[in-house]
Chains A and B, each alone.
Chain A
Amino acid sequence: MSIPLSWYMILSAALFSIGLFGVLARKNAVAILLGIELMLNAVNINLVAFWRYGTGSIAGQVFAIIVFAVAAAEVAVGLALIISVYRRRSTVIADDLDLLKW
Chain B
Amino acid sequence: MSSESIIWLIPLPPLLAFFLIVLFTNKSKALSHSVAIAAAFLSWLGGMVVFFRAVGVEHFGKEVFQSSINWIPTGDTWLKIGVLIDPLSAVTLFFVAWTVLMIFIYSVGYHNFGQPKGDHDRPGLPPHGATIADEHGHKHTVPSIEPMYSRFFAFIGLFAFGMYTLVVSDNLMTMFVGWEIMGLCSYLLIGFWYGKPSARNAAIKAFMTTRIGDVFMLLGISFLYWATGTLSFREIFTEHTLSVLAANPTPIFGISAAGLIGLLLFIGTVGKSAQWPLHVWLPDAMEGPTPVSAMIHAATMVSAGVYAAIRMFPLITADFTGHGLTTTMSIIAFIGVFTALFAATIAVAQNDIKRVLAYSTISQLGFMIAALGIGAYVAAIFHLITHAFFKALLFLGSGSVIHGMEHGVFHTGDHSVDPQNMFNMGGLRKKMPITFWTFLIGGFALSGFPVLTAGFWSKDEILADAFANGHMAVFITLAVAAFLTAFYTMRQITLTFLGKPRTSSAEHAQETHWTMTMPLVILSIFAIGFGWIGIPEEFPMLGGLIPNWLHEFVGGTLAEHPEVLAFNIFPLLTSLFVALGGLLTGWLVYRNVKSAEEDRLQIKVLKNKYYFDEMYNILFVKPAYWFSETFAYKFLDQTIIDGFLNRVGGFAAGIGHSFRHYFDAPVVNGFGDLVGESAKRIGKFMAPIIQRGRIQYYMLASLVVAIIVAVLYYFLLV
Contact = CB atoms under 8 A, between A and B. Distances in A.
A101 B692 contact: yes
Contacts of B695: 32, 94, 97, 100
A73 B700 CA distance: 25
A20 interface: yes
A88 to B, nearest CB: 16
Nearest to A95: B694
B693 interface: yes
A92 B654 CA distance: 68
B703 interface: yes
A97 B696 CA distance: 11
Contacts of A101: 691-693
Contact of A94 (B687, B696, B703): B696
A23 interface: yes
Nearest to B693: A101
Contact of A102 (B691, B696, B699): B691
Interface string A62-102: 00000000000000000000000000000000110111111
A98 B696 contact: no
Interface in A27-43: 32
A101 B695 CA distance: 10
Interface string A26-62: 0000001000000000000000000000000000000
Given A20-B703, A24-B703, A95 B696 contact: yes
A101 to B, nearest CB: 3
Contacts of A32: 695-696
Interface in B32-90: none
Interface in B672-691: 687, 691
B507 to A, nearest CB: 101
A98 B703 contact: no
A1 B39 CA distance: 92
Contacts of A24: 696, 699-700, 703
Interface string A11-24: 00000000010011
Q: Name the interface size band of chain B.
A: 10 to 19
A23 B699 contact: yes
A92 B692 CA distance: 18
Contacts of B687: 102
A99 B691 CA distance: 11
B700 A100 contact: no
A94 B695 CA distance: 7
A18 B696 CA distance: 15
Nearest to B687: A102
A94 B699 CA distance: 12
B687 to A, nearest CB: 6
A23 B695 CA distance: 10
Q: Name the interface size band of chain A.
A: 10 to 19
Contacts of B696: 23-25, 32, 94-95
Interface in B208-226: none
Nearest to B692: A101
A25 B696 CA distance: 8
A100 B691 CA distance: 8
Contacts of B691: 101-102
B461 to A, nearest CB: 98
A95 B694 CA distance: 5
A102 B703 CA distance: 21
B112 to A, nearest CB: 80
A97 B693 CA distance: 8
A98 B693 contact: yes
A8 to B, nearest CB: 21
Contacts of A100: 693-695, 698
Contacts of A94: 694-696
A24 B695 CA distance: 9
Contacts of A25: 696
Contacts of B693: 98-102
A26 to B, nearest CB: 8
A23 B692 CA distance: 17
A49 to B, nearest CB: 21
A100 B687 CA distance: 12
A101 B700 CA distance: 16
A45 to B, nearest CB: 20
B48 to A, nearest CB: 80
Interface centre among B691, B695, B699, B703 (most CB of A within 10 A): B695
A102 B691 CA distance: 7
Contacts of A20: 703
Contacts of B692: 98, 101
B567 to A, nearest CB: 107
B386 to A, nearest CB: 93
B79 to A, nearest CB: 63
A20 B704 CA distance: 12
Contacts of B699: 23-24
Nearest to A100: B693
Nearest to A102: B691
A85 to B, nearest CB: 12
A98 B703 CA distance: 19
Interface string B485-507: 00000000000000000000000
A99 B692 CA distance: 9
Nearest to B700: A24
B706 to A, nearest CB: 11
A25 B697 CA distance: 10
A20 B698 CA distance: 13
A75 B296 CA distance: 88
A100 B703 CA distance: 19
The 4 closest A-B pairs by CB, nearest first: A101-B693, A98-B693, A100-B693, A102-B691
Given A23-B696, A102-B687, 5 more contacts: A25-B696, A95-B694, A98-B692, A100-B694, A102-B691
8 contacts: A24-B699, A24-B700, A24-B703, A95-B694, A98-B693, A98-B694, A100-B694, A102-B687
Interface of A: 20, 23-25, 32, 94-95, 97-102
